Structure formats: C-alpha cells, structure tokens
Amino acid sequence: MNPLSRRDWGILAVTVIVCLLPLFALGTYVSTRYTDGQDQLSRLEPRFARLLGLQASSEKMDEKIAQMEQRMSTFVYPSEVDATQAGNDAQQRVRSILSTAGLTVVSSQVLPAKMEQGFERITLSVRAEGELIHLQAALAVLPSLTPVILVDGINIQVVGLQRADKPQRLGTELKLSVLHRKPA
C-alpha cells in the first residue's frame, strides 16, 4: 500500500467534511428546535397551571356565579323580561307608589333604553303634584323597591299661589331609571 500524498489527504479531508456537514446542520436544527420547545413549554406552564386551578375551583365559581345572579336579580330586571315590559312594570310601580303616598300623577313616560356596560338603562320621566309630606313619603319608599329604581334627578316647583292656611302644593318632575340585563 502506498502512503497517501498530500493531495489525497486533502481530498479525504474535504470528503469527510462534506459528509459531516449535513449531520452538523441536522444537530444544530434539532438543538434549536429543542431549545424553542423548552422556551414555549416554560411560557405555557403558568397558563396551564392557572387553567388547572380554574378547573379545580369550578364548583366554587359556579356557586359564586349563582349567588351573584341572585343578588343581581334584586337590583336589575332579568334578561328574560323584555326591556319594554321592564320599563312598563317600573312605570306602574312608580305610579302606584306616588299615588299611595298621596301625590297626583300628572304624566309618566318610559323613554328609550340606553346601553351601559352590558345593561340597558331604561329612563322614566314622571310628573306629579302634591304636598311636600307626600313627596317625602314617596321618596322614602322608592329605595326599598326591587328591582331597584334609581333616582337620576328631581325638579321641584311651587304650583299655584302660596296661602298661609293651606299646605304648599308642589309640582315634581322625577327622572328615574331602572337597569335591565341585556339579553345574551
């Protein structure tokens, strides 16, 4: 066997390098993909842990949601009731309270609903006349109603002439509103 010449050694070295180059590229690719996969797993691990925590506490959350729904029903008309029906119901309840308190309801109107953070705000405009004591009695009862009727504004004016022998008659314009849960 003949000893290899310098040229033969060069050709052999180039052949080995050409054969090892794809293996080196494959190793680099696998290493990069492995590192990327580990990074992605480390980013997903906290999310996965949170999801497992949420899944483990789903019964408690369902219970809290049911409690919230029950509490919300004392303040807001449910979504099963139409917004028009909710407005008419609130109007009838307000008229009843004002009449029972001794005020004369001159006019009442349900205004169009406005959207507010997942709820519809149904505004009522009510004009009534009567004595101050009757107005106080009506305003004392309004906060106890459920679903809650919110007082947005009150405008009170003297009606007629002032007489010392009769109580002062007042004209009151109430701007009220109720919340209606928006249908999903």
Specify the pLDDT at position 71.
86
Contacts of residue 181, Cβ cutoff 8 Å, sequence gap at least 6:
72, 76, 77, 78, 79, 118, 119, 120
Specify the pLDDT at position 165.
76
Per-residue burial over 103-122, b if 16 or more Cβ lie within 10 Å, else e, is bebeebebeebeeeeebbbb
pLDDT tens digits for range 102-154: 999 999 999 998 988 888 999 999 999 999 899 999 999 988 888 999 999 99
Residue whose token pair is 């009522």: 124
Asked if the model's pLDDT at residue 173 lies above 90, the reply is yes
Confidence (pTM): 0.65
pLDDT tens digits for range 49-88: 899 988 889 899 999 988 988 888 888 988 888 888 999 9
Residue 111 and residue 124 in contact, taking contact as beta carbons nearer than 8 Å: yes
Superfamily of domain covering 83-181? Ribosomal protein S6/Translation elongation factor EF1B (3.30.70.60)
Query: What's the pLDDT band for 1 if we cut at 50, 70, 90?
Result: low
Mean pLDDT over the full length of the chain: 89
| 170 CB neighbour count, 10 Å cutoff | 18
User: Domain limits of the chain?
Assistant: 6-56, 83-181
